[in-house]
Structure 1
Amino acid sequence: MLVELSIKHFAIIDQLTVPFQKGLTVITGETGAGKSIIIDAIGLLLGGRGSADYVRYGEQRAEIEGLFHVEEGNRALEKAKDLGIDVSDQMFILRRDITTQGKSICRINGKMVTIAILREIGQTLVDIHGQHEHQSLMQPEHHMHLLDEYAGVLLKRTRLEYQELYKKALQLQQQVVRFSTNEQEMAQKVDLYQFQLNEIEQAQLEPLEDERLLEERHKLQHSEKLFSLLQDSYQSLFGENRGLDFLANATAHLEEAATIDKELSALHENVSNSFYLLEEAAFTLRNQMELIEFDPARLEVVESRLHELTQLKRKYGSTVEEMMEYAARIEEELDSLVHKDDRLSELIADLEAAWKDLYVEAQTLTKLRKEAAHKLKKAIHSQLRSLYMEKTEFDVSIQPRVGTKDSPIIDGQAVAFNEGGMDEIEFYLSTNPGEPLKPLAKVASGGEISRIMLAIKSIFSHQEGITSVIFDEVDTGVSGRVAQAIAEKIHRISEDSQVLCITHLPQVAAMADTHLYISKHEEDQRVRTSVNALTKGEKVNEIARMISGVEVTDLTKQHANELLQLAETLKV
């Protein structure tokens, strides 16, 4: 849900912070007070088209910031994770600054992002619906997702199984295409791989060989210095009047001292042990000196081998292990190319089998969707009847996608698969008896579209996973019993998603859990906008104003009270 919205230097708004609550929040006020400007600000925060015209006159930039909280499992969290955005506390802070040069700076949880990413995340958080702005429900490409979500767990599990098969089929298809390239290209690959494999095999590589040779070269290059250092160390320890000689003398003295003072026995033992350790070290030094070779010929061999390995590394890998792995890969590839025809026949057979398995799974998807579409049709008709649109017909068109010459042929027909199956799904409507069903986006207008969208959103608000739904004057063109039905429907949607609603209908305002009043006033010869949450008494006056339009009378206040009492009854 949208927890708080902060707006600064945006249009006629100087500075404004609005906290929001769960349930249905109604926003009312005089025309021009800034109600729709707040919705425009939210739209920009969600990645809408920006303009320097939005910056308040005399300021350098407009700043919009919104705090959102989402429940565990919300798809916005998955998207954020994919984009590397930290949302460990399930909170999103979206921010957008627009400069007077028209440039936008976008951030999510402090991380700078592109407008496209802001839009991608924003569309999972809020759905804005105005009389002429239909968003997701009016987009045919979104209808399959809605129907699948409505269908439930069985279809979702079937779709996941289908997608695994689809991925496998695509991989096989790519392999078939690769093996079906022209003969000249294949022959060139065979020659290249054969040359590379021979070159690597002739080098007779050994694991970690380069590291061992580098170490050996280092020793050979510094053999004289190494011998000199070891010799000096040995001579410092072994010989007359050398280290061990003095240590032996100290040991003998301490041994005699320990006969006088037994507390020196431990010290004598330590010095004695040190003598034997150093004596053993001296013998090791002597052995190491005997092993050192002054061998320029061996150094030349090592240098030559390292040079050979360096040349190979430029072609086949940065280490000996990588080169050996590369050789194993091209050996396998070479075998496949040499036996191309056999391998291609196997791949084609595997691909044909994969397409058939995919077709069976796609048919299951289609069957489940048709069952779900039948139930959805009944549910939508029930919603439309409650909005006094008994004559309106709703249907879900499920048609096979049109295949092309490149599509797989199954049972003599070209089948066009994609990640969702082989179906084209679109919602259709007919608002008048005798009129044919037409795509949802092309049928409704005016007051009709408000009711149609509310009917559909009543079904899909939970399935869409949207945390907040905004209705911007969707009640235009309706009144009477239809207005009351719309009010009840909007409140029903708010039980599954937070709803913000700009309205001119007193019936809708009466159903509000929170009622915000927007007003504007002049200060220092500039217009300023303010937002206030109305108390119960203030609600009565505002709804009375909405009823009368001009003058608030005792009768309109009485009517407003009746609407509020009716609303409380309907909420139970």
Structure 2
Amino acid sequence: MLTELSIRDFAIIDEVSITFKEGLTVLTGETGAGKSIIIDAIQLLAGGRGSVEFVRHGTKKAEIEGLFIVEDAHPVYKKAGQFGIDISEDGMVVLQRTITNQGKSICRVNGKLVTLAILKEFGQSLIDIHSQHETQSLMDPDRHIELLDLFSAEQLSSSIEDYQSVFEKYQMLNKRFKELSENEQEMAQRLDLLEFQFRELQEAELVPKEDEELSDERNKLMNYEKIYQGIHDAYHSLYGEQKGLDWLSHAMTSLESTADFDEQLSKLSEELSNAYYVIEEITFQLSSQMNELEFDPERLNQIEGRLNEINRLKKKYGQTVENMLEYASRIEEEIDEIKNKDSHLHRLEQQIHELGQDAVLDAKNIHDIRKISSEKLAEYVHEELKDLYLEKAAFEVDIQIKEGKSTDPVFEDRHVKLQKNGFDIVKFLITTNPGEPLKELHKVASGGEMSRIMLALKRIFSRHQGVTSVIFDEVDTGVSGRVAQAIAEKIYGISKGSQVLCISHLPQVAAMADTHVRIEKQVHDDRTSTVVKEMNEEEKAEEISRMITGAELTETTFEHAKELLAMASKHKQ
């Protein structure tokens, strides 16, 4: 959930810090007080498009910062791991967005600089914003398949994984087939390049680990004098009259003479003897190395030349000899493919056909699961719409199979187009008037009906989407009476599963709030600023009373406001 929001020098906001709580928080206030500006700030925090117009006049930059607390299993942890961002044990995620008066946008997640695209990915997994003009994925036909899959994720997840594994291989083979078959001139040029590269690598006669071994040998030759002097000094310190081995031999003989009289001395004598013979062996090896050590300037030149050649090739073909040998192996295969293009194309065609039919079988399994899930989703939506006084509305999930070209795989005697999530096209259809045909969601005309449909869908999908905060910006526009009360109860129902922040002009929605915040506009020293205030129970009643009348507070409206609050409390219980 969003627990803290700080905004500085943003539009007409000088500096505001708001603490949000669980459940339903309703923000109210006069038109133009800055309610939607706060939602704009949250939208920017979620990766929305910025503008210098958001920077408060006379300041250098606008700053927005949001603190979120997430549970252990939240999808944001996976994103954090993907982008190398740490999340503390208490699940704190801090999103920051700065917009300068020159139009530059600076984004951070938990203090780490990120691109706007990455901030957007985090924002979309934490915040879901809905307004009367923008209903995001719910009204976008291209996103309906994702929402249906989200609804049936438990049944679909393994089938989708199986399909996508086959589909990726299918795509790769198609790409290779296209490369081999389309452009003869490009392939001829590619063949010339590959043959030159392969010939150059073959002539180099590279040996695994060769560069490492040559570097070691070069290091020894370049430090010949130091090595020789070190061995020489060590050897002559150990071998010779009155040297190390001579004194060790004397000590060993002296200790052996006492070994028969003391068990402890006997053990020490044995250990000393072992040490003597180890050092004697080291002395022999030092002598051998000293005799074998030879400085060969010609060999050093050969090594330098060979390493220069290897380093030149590394710049073109790989960072190590092993990388270059692997590259040579790959291009040898590609050369063979190009030279024997026809046979390779034939083999690729067979593989594409087989993989395509395998993918079709997996896509058919996904299609069947979606059909079953779509019927269950339709039942849920009808129940939700009934609560919102749209009991005569009809909702249906339309699932069609995408037609393919003659080169695409065949399913039930027709060619189908495979996509990353199967071969289905999914659309949500609805009609609110009996006898009228079903239409796509975004073609439903009435604003009041659109609000209720969106809320019904949001109520269902909010359980599956995993976002921590759902934000409604005046989605209740155009409704009143019993519908307004139903919308208030529906919004409150969503807040039982996710934190909900709601800007509303409906007193019924305000009465349902767990936390009621009033947004006010003040003028001080000829500058306008926005002030945020959390209200107590008495202030809530007064604010709801003003929302009912739109004018001065009266005893009647105050009693009506109290009655609304009492009804809301009863509903919550």
Is TM more than 0.5 here? Answer: yes
The alpha-carbon distance between structure 1 residues 267 and 525, as it changes in their structure 2 partners (threshold 3 A), is: same
Per the TM alignment, residue 404 of structure 1 is displaced from its structure 2 partner at its CA by 4.3
Deviation at 1:442, TM superposition (A): 2.7
SS of residue paired to 2:464: coil
Q: Which residue of 1 aligns with 2:368?
A: 367
Q: Secondary structure at the match of 1:357?
A: helix
- Please list every run of 5 or more consecutive structure 1 residues that lacks an aligned counterpart in the other structure: none
Whichever residue aligns with residue 552 of structure 1, its letter is L
Equivalent position of 2:160 in the other structure: 159
Counterparts in 2 of 1:333 and 1:447: CA distance versus 1, 3 Å? closer
Amino acid at match of 2:354: A
What secondary structure, in the 3-state scheme, does the structure 1 residue paired with 2:134 have?
A: coil
- Equivalent-residue separation in structure 2 for 1:544 and 1:105 (angstroms): 43
Q: Closer, same or farther in 2 for the Cα pair 1:353/1:527, shift >3 Å?
A: same
Q: Return the alpha-carbon distance in structure 2 between the equivalents of residues 206 and 66 of structure 1.
A: 57
TM-score when normalising by structure 2? 0.86
Deviation at 1:146, TM superposition (A): 1.0
Where do residues 23-422 of structure 1 align in structure 2 (5 Å cutoff)? Answer: 23-88=23-88, 89-180=90-181, 206-216=207-217, 230-231=231-232, 233-235=234-236, 237-240=238-241, 279-293=280-294, 317-333=318-334, 340-404=341-405, 407-408=408-409, 413-422=414-423
Give % identity: 53
* Distance (whole Å) between structure 1 residues aligned to residue 14 and residue 97 of structure 2: 16
Shift, 1:187, TM fit: 7.0
**Is residue 570 from structure 1 mapped to residue 571 from structure 2 by the alignment?**
yes
Structure 2: runs of 5+ lacking an equivalent: none
Q: How many residues align?
A: 572
Secondary structure in 1 matching 2:463: coil
RMSD of aligned Cα (Å) = 3.8
* Whole-angstrom CA distance in 2 between matches of 1:117 and 1:428: 33
After TM superposition, the structure 1 stretch with the greater mean CA deviation from structure 2, 391-400 or 62-71, is 391-400
Q: Tell me the equivalent position of 1:19.
A: 19
1:129-184 CA-to-partner distances (Å, cap 9, x unmatched) read 22222222111221111112223422333222222221221233234334446677
Does the 8 A contact of 1:503 with 1:509 survive in 2?
Answer: yes
What amino acid is aligned across from residue 136 of structure 1 in structure 2?
S
Q: Per-residue displacement from partner, 1:76-125 (whole Å, max 9, x unpaired)?
A: 33333323322244322112222233332222211122223222221222
Which range moves more in the overlay, 104-113 or 250-259?
250-259
Distance 1:343 1:428 in 2: 47
What SS does the aligned partner of 1:532 have? strand
How high is the TM-score relative to the length of structure 1? Answer: 0.86
Task: Answer yes or no: is the 8 Å Cα contact 1:149–1:156 preserved in 2.
Answer: no
Q: Deviations over 1:194-223 (max 9, x none)?
A: 776676667665443444444445556776
Alignment check: 8 A CA contact 2:357 2:409 kept = no
Distance 2:505 2:294 in 1: 99
CA distance in 1, matches of 2:353, 2:345: 12
> Is the contact made by 1:193 and 1:334 (CA closer than 8 Å) also made in structure 2?
yes
Deviation at 1:511, TM superposition (A): 1.4
1:522–1:354 Cα change, 3 Å: same
Q: Greater CA deviation, 205-214 or 497-506? A: 205-214
Give the residue type in structure 1 aligned to 2:19.
P
Of 276-285 and 118-127, more deviation after overlay is shown by 276-285
**Secondary structure of 1:462 counterpart:** helix
Code of the aligned partner of 1:547: I
Corresponding residue for residue 429 of structure 2: 428
Distance 2:233 2:4 in 1: 78
Which residue in the other structure is 2:551 paired with?
A: 550
Note if contact 2:360-2:409 (Cα within 8 Å) is conserved in structure 1: no
**Counterparts in 2 of 1:207 and 1:101: CA distance versus 1, 3 Å:** closer
In the alignment, the residues of structure 2 paired with residue 192 and residue 225 of structure 1 have an alpha-carbon distance, to the nearest angstrom, of 47
Summarize deviations over 1:495-540 as a string: whole Å, max 9, x none.
2221111222221111112212223344444444332322222222
Greater mean deviation of Cα atoms: 269-278 or 430-439: 269-278
Structure 1 position 418, deviation (Å): 0.8
Instruction: Please list the CA deviations of residues 344-395 of structure 1 after superposition, one character each: whole Å capped at 9, or x if unmatched.
Output: 4333222112211222222232233233223323332332232223443333
- Segment of structure 1 superposing worse, 112-121 or 187-196: 187-196
Q: Which amino acid aligns with 1:144?
A: I
Report the equivalent of 1:448: 449
2:291 alignment partner AA: E
In the aligned structure 2, how far is the partner of 1:97 from the partner of 1:114? 12
Report the counterpart of residue 498 of structure 2 in structure 1.
497
Provide the C-alpha distance between the structure 1 equivalents of 2:262 and 2:460, rounded to a whole number of angstroms.
98
Cα offsets for 1:443-487 (capped at 9, x unmatched):
234322222211222222212322222222222222211111111
Indicate how the Cα distance of structure 1 residues 256 and 307 shifts in structure 2: closer, same or farther if over 3 A, else same: same
Q: Give the counterpart letter for 1:373 in structure 2.
A: S
The question of whether the paired residues in 1 share the 8 Å contact of 2:2 and 2:67 is answered with yes
CA distance, structure 2, for counterparts of residue 173 and residue 311 of structure 1: 36
Question: In structure 2, what is the Cα distance between the partners aligned to 1:72 and 1:257?
Answer: 72
What are the equivalent positions in structure 2 for 1:520-559 lying under 5 Å apart? 520-559=521-560
| 2:459 alignment counterpart | 458
Q: Quick check: 1:140–1:427 contact (8 Å CA) kept in 2?
A: yes
Q: State the SS of the aligned residue for 1:463.
A: helix
What is the CA deviation profile of residues 28-79 of structure 1, one whole-angstrom value per residue up to 9, with x for unaligned ones?
2233332222222222222223233333333332222111123333333333
In structure 2, relative to structure 1, the CA distance for the partners of 1:183 and 1:138 (3 Å cut) is closer
